[in-house]
Chain A
């Protein structure tokens, strides 16, 4: 069974700090990895998607990297703002040989303190 892990479960930082969120997965045969943001009582909003052939993707203050060999992805948030406070989830699509399914981590709850 595929597993996706996110550590830490919660993180609190002062405004303006740069931070890194981690996602690890058990199988290097991934097809793509997505980072999502979830606000309380809301659905998931896609932030970045990295294909298995890519090493990183950037959008504004966000940068996501992928290292398949070590089974890790990181989401880097630059100059954090209170509006970044949310739960961040990573989701992995593994090889179709293991089923056409997305596997989610349990998320990192981020609080940015003004």
Chain B
């Protein structure tokens, strides 16, 4: 089954404790991205990756890191989490990030992160 898998689904942690949210897709997609969803602000793109070893900042990259060492994985790293990073996070993938694709983005089920 084609899917985007995020882990963990829920996490409560404390300020400053490094954490990683994993994302994996099994569709051989080139394009992967991370979003955060906040009430009243909608989904905002944090980072995206056009392919292996190619990553770029989205609209809200501060406080986050990503890496794309393999095509299927795109982890999101919070080196020193702060309370303003409490949010619902989504990973997504699509065949290509050029906009020419007629294939939609596939989303994971989300990770609810609470930073105390």
Contacts and interface: CB of A to CB of B under 8 A. Distances in A.
Interface of A: 1, 31-32, 34, 36, 41-46, 49, 51, 89, 91, 93-96, 99-107
A111 to B, nearest CB: 17
B104 A106 contact: no
A95 B102 CA distance: 15
Interface stretch (B13-21, B35-43, B67-75, B76-84): B35-43
Interface in B80-116: 90, 92, 97-110
A104 B42 contact: yes
B29 interface: no
Interface residues of B, number: 31
Given A46-B106, A93-B99, A96-B98, A101 B59 contact: yes
Contacts, number: 68
B42 A100 contact: no
Contacts of A46: 104-106
Contacts of B106: 46
